[in-house]
Structure 1
Amino acid sequence: MNNELQSAVNKLDANQMPNGAWSWFKGGRENRYITQHIITGFGHLKQLSVADANEKTAEMVSKAIQFLDAEFIQEYKDIRKYDKNMDLDLDHLSYTQLHYLYMRSFFPNIKKSKEVEEIISYYQTQIEKYWLSRSLYAKGLMSLISHRNDAPIMATKILKSLKETSITSEELGMYWKANTNSWFWYQAPIETQALLIEAFSEIENDTETIDNLKIWLLKNKQTNRWKTTKSTTDAVYALLLQGSDWLSVTDAVEIVLGGQKIEPSKLENVKVEAGTGYYKTSWNTTEIKPEMGDVSISKKGAGIAWGSLYWQYFEDLDKITSAETPLQLKKKLFLKTNTDTGEKITEITKQTALNVGDLVRVRIELKSDRAMEFIHMKDMRAAGFEPVNVISAYKWQDGLGYYESTKDASTNFFFDYLPKGVYVFEYDLRVNNSGNMSNGITTIQSMYAPEFSSYSEGVRVLID
């Protein structure tokens, strides 16, 4: 670990330009944002008291801040570059300047020039005027800047507003509906949530609020990948800040199944994972009894825990009832006919008699209460049906992209990203055989987190 740390420091030192800046890639031009991002990283390490402050890193930070101070002053002067009468009372709060103020607040011990001090004071008045119209990420930055610049009333006011616009649930924790992805570096949900955790932990230090914010971050990771090193490092930093110390909890979750306590240490070929307490066990057919459906779980320590229980058994497909999970499916079949007034569809019930040659429309309604990645939905069909469309292809529908693959007994849908919401999928089948048969069910499962799965109820069809 020490060797890797030293290697990273050496690489930063080798790539730092003589003026103190870093480029995005070696050999490129100086980049202010990249430089601010690197120095903010040193600030995070300092905040966690894990930075080994040696002469080399201190010199790197000092040189970079000299460069960034000069850039900060220049951007302020550029406000009147093309119009010397530009009104300074208008909104001139750029995200780059806000990011600088946040970065600079980690290093109060590095002396500021009088000019820098005056410009910081100017931007503090800008924050007090224009904070309300800004994004979640900007509000997080502004609350921390105000708090560290001895403006506690402003910091508290911003946090109060953030609380009022937040959503809190037992399942997903505390989050914001407006915290969505977009094109710019300051429009990233993971980084935004991590920043807001830092703001609430430093300014209010309310353990319950911080824990709820952390729950959303972990729940997001459960069904999504953190796509960049930047989002991952920011999330780890946020999780290591104040709030309940979840990492030091050693008490295992107590599980009682059918009146019998599960003790992993006594189970054959079961190992408990160090650090997380994760373990997995199973029972074969002869060991399973009806009373095992009665499960109680108790947790002694602080923090949260996740687990899943799967009960697998055989059942006729048309007797299966739909499952209520974070993913919900509804499947209906309609008889499609053409009339003088256009296309007409009628829902198929147990009493509906179909004939060979009829067209049947399948309608699947999918509801997801959170964003998920890498989802597979499989829609089974009766032996008497054949799909009209047999060509597999990538499709777009209402802003949702997915791959549709037609197989012998099912149609499959693959989503690399499924946003929160309700979606309706339709496709047509042709009746080609008679009989009384089950049309099967529709199943859906996260390939990333298999415990997130669901299925529709079964349907039976009669074909004359």
Structure 2
Amino acid sequence: MHLKKTAVIIFLFCSLLLVFTQVESKTNFNTRNGIEIHLKTPAFLREGDLAYLTVNIHNKTNAELTGQMQLQLTDAATGNPVDGWFVNTFPVQYFTASQRDSVAINFPIQVPYGFNQPILLSVKAVSGNCTDSAKNTIPIFPNRAIIHKNFSCTFHTGNGNSIYLKDLNNANEESISNKSFTAIIATQPIWQAIEALKKLQFANKNNPMSVVSQFFSQQLLQNYQTLPACLSLLPSPVFTASNNTQPTSKFNFFHLSSNAPQKELQDENAIESLKKLQQTNGSFATGLNKEVNALLTAKIITILSKVYINHQTDSATKAALFPLMQQGLLFVQKSLSNTIAPDLTITALLYCYSKSLLKNWLVTYPSNTILFNSLKKHATQYTLANQALMGAILQQYNDTGLLYKTILQTIQQSVITSANNATASWPSGTKDIFSPNAFDTQIQIIQFLQNADVHQYPFIKTVLPKALHTLALQIQHNNNIAESWLIAQAGALILQERILLNPPATLTLGNHIFSIEKNCNVHISGNSIDSTLAHITIQTSQNETSIFYGNIQWQYLQDVAAIPATHQSWKLSKKLFVQKTFNHQTQLQLLSENEPLAIGDTIMIQLSIQNTLPSVKAVTITDNYSACMQIIAHPRQSTVLVAEQINLSGNHFFIASLPKGKTNLQYFAVITQSGRFSSGIASIAAELQEYKSYAPSIQINVSEKKN
């Protein structure tokens, strides 16, 4: 049934175990003679919040008790007192508790701006010989946006290569509070590969090539975490690419309290999709002629074989993949004859390549030696791409005889460069091979050269870095779904490439100098960040030509009012509504700033997105809700289908495709803490575009009881 755009879709997240925004802590230091205290605090606070911390004192004796209560605040990390920072001007208060009765004491604390570390609260009650103590730790989050800027750049060294990041001129501004600056320098175009693989995460579930490419790319992105530490510093970086002179900047809007994960396709879902798409004869398509269907199936089996042999793939995934591959291989084999027609050469080669990858798992599978020998017999007559694929098959079988050497020599002659062409992306005389129209040729040659002996064939050391660079440029802006399997393979080649040794080099960041061996990871924090870091230079010691790839990440805090608009086509707004009863009917009334609320009030938070663009993919909306609220299980309302995740201080919504027009998201909370609080900043960002918007917070005043 088709729903109208304004129809309400009820979420399936009502039964989630939600976050409690109020914590009761009881840790005894020394409890004696019938007095017991309980400290109630919010789960977190933000900059600028004024909270009343409640301590309940229970008199367990048969006599009235009079005494004093003391509150101490310390930095949880350093142990240093912070009472002055938090305006704890009444650290000692007196109490009187009747026999077998309880009494509550409130301590007001004001969170200062610029303090973003957890604090430890310690309270102690003393009445004569009766004492009790309790403590609790509260994280402090900023009430400002944390801006994460990424600059990706390519360095072609020689006489030195410098870039200038003009955005860093603002590093010394008063409105900016610097958090971190990281420079990651690598010898592989990691950033371009990651960006290309992320684009494959939105598959057409009816297209088997799109599904298998998404599956493979997701496996690669998961394996990205296993790369050297310097290449996997951040769990979810955003990568951009640039030329060798001007870096590009991608401006991402996050909050320190945000922890929204990527929406990833689970392995079992991809496999289930492939099972539905696979026909009873083992192929993955219908309505195509025999040759095209066999080629499509061979390509899919090649990708699945690479996933299967990856040591990161778990046993359950392998068990589910094996019958898919086995049926597919049988279909392709039946489609081939022992004498291969020219239009089936690539199909036969992919079939043999998949079997070579799976040789340790297909020991009982028919070897079809006649087919393979026929391919070898005519290999020198094949295109360069097919020769390279044959070479890759020979590598899997450790067959480095005459045919293998002949193929290597042919490729060497095709990619040989002159010494005067040091700045070219590819060596001279190879534009026909490495042009955009020869994408598959590039991939097959690189795949072959990666596993060849560099010491025996030293030309590889010169060619391969330039080959990877050109390959990265090819996939950077390629959104052709028909080539998705090539993009996935290209990303795999870049990410899995062994790190080639570049000549010794130095990285200069402003007044800082660092040495580069294979890769370099430099981290600068806090007050050490200034505008001099805008100048970045890489210099090789022998003035040799090498390619380095840099990803510069700069994080800082800034008030949302000071953040310039980046795209006029998006607008995010946030409104709060309080639930009230009029004439025995419950209504929602818009909450204005500083309008008084009370503990127990029910609040509806509404996020509205006005989008004038066509459908935008992979949208994340983060609402950093107030410290005085507790999210409650209540039917969510939205004009689009979304997924939701709640963490300590933020509610995250994930929209696969945001439509043009107005979209509303609504969820509910209950007020649990008295004081004066920020309602929290909300933000929206698209995974694959630079679109973003934000909604500022308003102030909320909460009293203990309703008027």
Superposition TM-score tier, normalisation by shorter sequence: 0.3 to 0.5
TM-score w.r.t. the length of structure 2 is: 0.31
Larger fraction in helix: 1
TM-score w.r.t. the length of structure 1 is: 0.46
Larger fraction in strand: 2
Name which structure has the greater RCO, CA cutoff 8 Å, separation 6+: 2
